[in-house]
Amino acid sequence: MNGWTSANIPDQTGRTFVVTGANSGLGAETAKALVGVGANVILACRNTAKADAVASKLGPNATVAQLDLADLASVRSFASSFTGADVLINNAGLMAVPLRRTADGFEMQIGTNHLGHFALTALLLPKITDRVVTVSSGVHQIGNIQLDDLNWEKRRYRRWQAYGDSKMANLMFGLELAKRLAEAGSSKESFIAHPGYAATELQGRSENFMDVLAKLSNKLPIAQSAADGALPQLYAATMSGLPSGTYYGPTKFFGLHGAPGRNKYKKAADDADFRAALWAESEKLTGEKFDVSGS
């Protein structure tokens, strides 16, 4: 790969990162790369057995903490014992799963990918010193969020639309957080990243014929490795001088693979009124008042 790679990550000795969903795929590769440049990494995962296996290979700079983003009680428990970090990477996610509900009754994809991370960031932000990176997806382009039915209680469920909506919510959240931090005069920053097409365990969870297609497409040249797919979030998490509120992803073949760089996104995400409404609805649903003024 030409361009920025993990070899270009600046030294991170003495810095601490929280990576959600670091037990496999992009999260595990992100943790591996960060530990490799001296960082301390908290692997915040639902499946702690898998996370322990990853951490054991990374050494003493990697620690594991239980976090189930599909359960707000777990999010609050994690936050209550959290002592601080430089960077939070909101990486964990589900893609195109059948209709299921979180412990709090949210549709599983919006509940895990967006609402769980929204609540987590709200609770952790006072103890994050540098930045938040939220992982979206190129599939945000199909996002068409319905604020009056965020949890798919009125409409016929469509798993890919629900995924696209959750990834648009991730993008809008990252943009709105950057705006609010700047307006509050905070030095903290917010970035958004996406992996392009990366062959990970995220694919193959649809429990239908799409799983077969996913396994086949993961073998095509268009698919990046998980390590390459992690580069945009590593770039956003470690590089200095980036404008807060910017979106990073692969720079080749329509953003599907290649070295990371600044990407364009669906312009609907710039609707400030809609972003504010989504923020308010997220506060209402999670019960977490998100105050950036003290950040």
The CATH number that applies at residue 19 is 3.40.50.720
**Domain membership of residue 136 as a residue range:** 6-197+223-285
| Span 3-17, pLDDT tens digits | 999 999 999 999 999
pLDDT at 198: 84
Spot the catalytic one: 157, 163, 247, 265.
Answer: 163
Q: Is residue 207 part of a domain?
A: no
Q: Is residue 204 part of a domain?
A: no
pLDDT at 217: 46
Q: Is residue 275 part of a domain?
A: yes
Q: Within 10 A of 160 (CB to CB), how many other CB atoms are there?
A: 14
* 85 phi, psi to nearest 5 deg: -160, 165
Q: Catalytic annotation on 197?
A: no
Which residue ranges in the chain fall short of pLDDT 70?
Answer: 1, 200-222, 294-295
* 221 phi, psi to nearest 5 deg: -60, -25
pLDDT at 168: 98
pLDDT at 218: 45
| Span 209-235, pLDDT tens digits | 444 444 544 444 567 999 999 999 999
The verdict on pTM exceeding 0.75 is yes
**With the CA atoms of 112, 233, 23 and 217 taken in that order, what torsion angle do they form, in degrees rounded to the nearest 10?**
90
Q: Is residue 261 part of a domain?
A: yes
DSSP string, the chain: --S--GGGPPP-TT-EEEEETTTSHHHHHHHHHHHHTT-EEEEEES-HHHHHHHHHHH-TTEEEEE--TT-HHHHHHHHHT---EEEEEE-----SPPS-B-TTS-BHHIIIIIIIHHHHHHHHGGGEEEEEEEE--GGGGG----GGGTTSSSSPP-HHHHHHHHHHHHHHHHHHHHHHHHHTT-S-EEEEE---SB-STTSS-SSSTHHHHHHHHTTSTTPBPHHHHTHHHHHHHH-SSPPTT-EEEEEETTTTEEEEEE----GGGG-HHHHHHHHHHHHHHHT-----TT-
Q: Is residue 43 part of a domain?
A: yes
Q: How far apart are CA 191 and CA 174, in angstroms?
A: 6
The number of domains in the chain is: 1
Q: Is residue 291 part of a domain?
A: no
Q: How far apart are CA 216 and CA 201, in angstroms?
A: 13
**Amino acid present at 285:** L
pLDDT at 21: 98
Q: How far apart are CA 253 and CA 165, in angstroms?
A: 23
Q: Is residue 209 part of a domain?
A: no
pLDDT at 208: 47
Q: How far apart are CA 217 and CA 199, in angstroms?
A: 8
Tokens 């322990």 -> residue: 52
**Cα atoms in the 13 Å half-sphere on the side-chain side of 193:** 32
Q: Is residue 242 part of a domain?
A: yes
Cβ atoms 282, 180 nearer than 8 A: no
